[in-house]
Structures are given as structure tokens and as C-alpha cells.
Amino acid sequence: MPDAIFRSNVSAGWFRHALAACAAGLLLFAPATQSAHAQSAAEFYNGRTVSLIVGYGPGGGYDVYARHFARHFGKYLPGNPVIVVQNMPGAGSLVAANHIYNAAARDGSVFGTFARDMALSALLKANPNIRFDPRKFTWIGTPASSEEDVYLTFVRKESQVREASDILRPGGPEVVLGGTGAGSAGNDWALLLRDALGMRIKLIPGYRDSSGLFLAVERGEIDGRSLDYSAVRSSRPLWLQQDSPVRVLLQFGRTTRHRDFPNVPLARDFAKTPEQIALLDLAELSNTLARPFAAPPDLPADRTAALRKAFIDMAKDKDYIAEGEKLRIDISPIGGEEILKVIERMASVPTEVLERMKAIRAASQGAR
């Protein structure tokens, strides 16, 4: 019995001591936290390393844009921090988007880029693994929009499919396209063409990244893939040359044909009903956010302002633009506040159109 009393007293004493220590630690920590948030943007960023998370593997279009971004962005932020790129591929960039929103520090030291379709997918609530509200991200900007870029479907020249009209013909050939994860633009466009326009498309999702998809097409594992023009120019310029192993089958994401593809039909050319046109309108609105960059929610206001201003200033920089031209990527920037307006426009689309798009997107969970 005395032993039990002794152990009880020791435990109680230790517990009181632990509580006191925790309280002291919190008191010491609180001023430091308050001090960090009280710092000006210049004080915060001075001498700091900032992480730029890319939702795809190295070598693809998003990675090219991110590394180009990282080489120039720091000089326009107060304090001139170093920007370090970290690739975080997975689930068509959903892993990165969830991480930035839920796990990354909310102090301006982390931001990233992910699929252009993530905002629309979140609004539709078609993927239960999406754990963010796109209206609450701290949007920085997108260096490219649909103003100059266009989404393209490529097929191997050996494919039976010669023209887009072939896969609309009853009893005609089927084209096998590859994609990454649910919510990626390549997957979602393929499903929209299949389920809204009735094109004979078989989608094989699950490729890890863009580089894997390029190889899959070139090896003949699949007939083709869909991706944006700027990514092809920067990552696979051979696909645009005379001796290319592929041909352009279709273009979409714009209301008019791109000047470089005057003879390639638009998806809109095959839309016959008001519903089909409304679905394409919504998808094209989403395509405006071609290369979005965002930080977590709830950043200090002055750091949000600093990030957005740095983006606008960088997008005007002659060196940034000149390097973009060498990389063959599109530079047609939209600022963070404009991104929010685009997202609100998508959210205000009639419910029946959103529900139809949701049903199409939901099919990407097990598309075949």
C-alpha cells in the first residue's frame, strides 16, 4: 500500500511538473510565433529558402514552367529568397494540391503548381480524395492561359484513326489514349470527348507522369495522348516536326482554331446540342488556368500581396520572357485575383451543367 501511494504521488508530481514545463514552453513559443507573423515581407524572405512544389515528375510541361518560374521569381520578392523546386508527383498532381492546402506552412515559405483542372474538379466534388476548397487557396497567378496555348490530341501515324471524324462514325475505329491520375486535364478532356460528344475513345489512366506517357505513345503501348501545345514544344519538339511519329487529331480548350493548326478541327466543330456546347464552355473556362501557382490559405496579407506583385513584375521581365521563348513555352499571364474570378465564374455555371460534368469526371475514377 505505501508503495502504491508513493507511485501515485510521484506520478501526480511528475504530471504537475510536465504541465508547468509545457506552459512555460508555450509562453516562450508564443512571442516567437507572433514575432514571425509580425515580420515585414522583406524581413521574412531575407535569407530564406522558399519551396516550390510541382505536382508532376521532372521533364513534363508543369516541371518546365516551374523551373523557369523558380529561376526568376525570387528576385522580385522582397528579400530576394532562393526558390527551390521539389517534385511531388501522384494522382495527376492531387497529392501536391492536397499537401499545399493542408500540410504546407501557411507563412509564404511554400507554394506550388498542379493541374489546371484541379479547381473545377474540386467545385464539382467528383473526386472524394480532393481535400481543398479552390476559392481558399492563395492564388499567385498562371504564367500561361488559353490565350495563346491550346490543348491537342495526338495519335501515332500508324493508328487506324486518320481524322477526328473517324471516331465518331458508328462502327468506326476506337482510339486508345493514355492519361495520368483522375483530375488531370488529359484524362478529363478524353472523357469529355467520349461521354459528351460520343467519340470512340478508350482511356488508360494511371501513368505516373508526362514523360511516361510520351514513351508509352512512342513505344506503341497506346495510340496517343492529349496535352497542351506548350508542353509539346518544350518537352517533345520532335512531335511537331515533319518526321514526327504522331499527328494532331483534334484541338480544344479554345473557341477558335490556333493559328499553327488551321486545318485541325476543334472539339466545338462536333458539338450539336446546347448541352454539349455548355460543357465545352465550362471546360474551356477551366483551361484558362493553364499553369496555376498557389500557396496555402490564410497567409499574412502582406506576403500574399508580395507574392502576387512579384508574379506580375516577373511576367513583364525581359529576361523571363526571353528564356520562355527559348524554352518554347507560352507566356500569357493571369494574376492571382483574376484566377479567383475565373473560379467564381465556374462555380456560377447552371447546376445541371455542373452535375453533367461531375458525372463525366466521376468516370475517371475507373476509366477504361
pLDDT tens-place string over residues 18-60: 434 434 444 344 444 445 567 899 999 999 999 999 999 998 8
Residues 146/154, Cβ–Cβ less than 8 Å:
no
Specify the pTM: 0.78
Q: Does residue 318 fall inside a structural domain?
A: yes
d(CA 302, CA 269): 46
Residues 89/259, Cβ–Cβ less than 8 Å:
no
Strands of the chain, DSSP E: 49-54, 82-87, 110-113, 138-142, 151-156, 175-178, 201-204, 224-228, 246-252, 293-295, 334-335
Grid coordinates standing for 6?
Answer: 508513493
pLDDT at 250: 96
Sign of CA dihedral 160, 240, 262, 271: positive
Which domain-ending residue is among 247, 262, 285? 285
Are 182 and 87 found together in one domain? no
Q: The CATH number of the domain where 134 resides is what?
A: 3.40.190.150
Residues 296/100, Cβ–Cβ less than 8 Å:
yes
pLDDT at 36: 54
Q: Does residue 3 fall inside a structural domain?
A: no
Residue 230: pLDDT band (50, 70, 90) is: confident
**In the predicted structure, residue 306 carries a pLDDT above the cut 70:** yes
Are 279 and 175 found together in one domain? yes
Residues 329/237, Cβ–Cβ less than 8 Å:
no
**In the predicted structure, residue 300 carries a pLDDT above the cut 60:** yes
**For the chain, what percentages of helix, strand and coil (3-state, to nearest 5) are there?**
50, 15, 35
Count helices and strands in the chain by DSSP H and E runs: 13, 11
The per-residue b/e assignment along 85-123, b for 16 or more CB within 10 angstroms, e otherwise, is bebbbbbbbbbbbbbbbeebebbbbbbbbbbbbbbbbbb
Q: How many CB atoms lie within 10 A of CB 357?
A: 27
**Strand 224-228 to 175-178 pairing:** parallel
Longest dimension (CA), the chain: 94
Q: Does residue 312 fall inside a structural domain?
A: yes
| Domain count across the chain | 2
Specify which residues 110 forms β-bridges with: 51
Are 91 and 204 found together in one domain? no
Are 216 and 119 found together in one domain? no
Grid coordinates standing for 327?
Answer: 524554352
Q: Which of 71, 76, 33, 80 is nearest to 52 (CA)?
A: 71
Which domain-ending residue is among 242, 262, 285? 285
Are 280 and 291 found together in one domain? no
Q: Does residue 142 fall inside a structural domain?
A: yes
Are 164 and 225 found together in one domain? yes
Residues 297/101, Cβ–Cβ less than 8 Å:
yes
pLDDT at 29: 40
Q: The CATH number of the domain where 270 resides is what?
A: 3.40.190.10
Q: Does residue 17 fall inside a structural domain?
A: no
Domain that holds residue 166: 151-285
Are 135 and 60 found together in one domain? yes
Are 64 and 181 found together in one domain? no
Are 123 and 210 found together in one domain? no
Are 106 and 170 found together in one domain? no
Residue 158 is given by DSSP the state T
Q: Does residue 169 fall inside a structural domain?
A: yes
Q: Does residue 263 fall inside a structural domain?
A: yes
Residues in the chain: 368
Q: Which of 187, 114, 119, 175 is nearest to 151 (CA)?
A: 187
Are 81 and 161 found together in one domain? no
In this prediction, residues 88-97 reach a mean pLDDT of 93
Which domain-ending residue is among 285, 316, 333? 285
Q: Does residue 25 fall inside a structural domain?
A: no
Are 265 and 335 found together in one domain? no
Tens digit of pLDDT for each residue in 148-194?
778 899 999 999 999 999 999 888 899 999 988 765 777 888 999 99
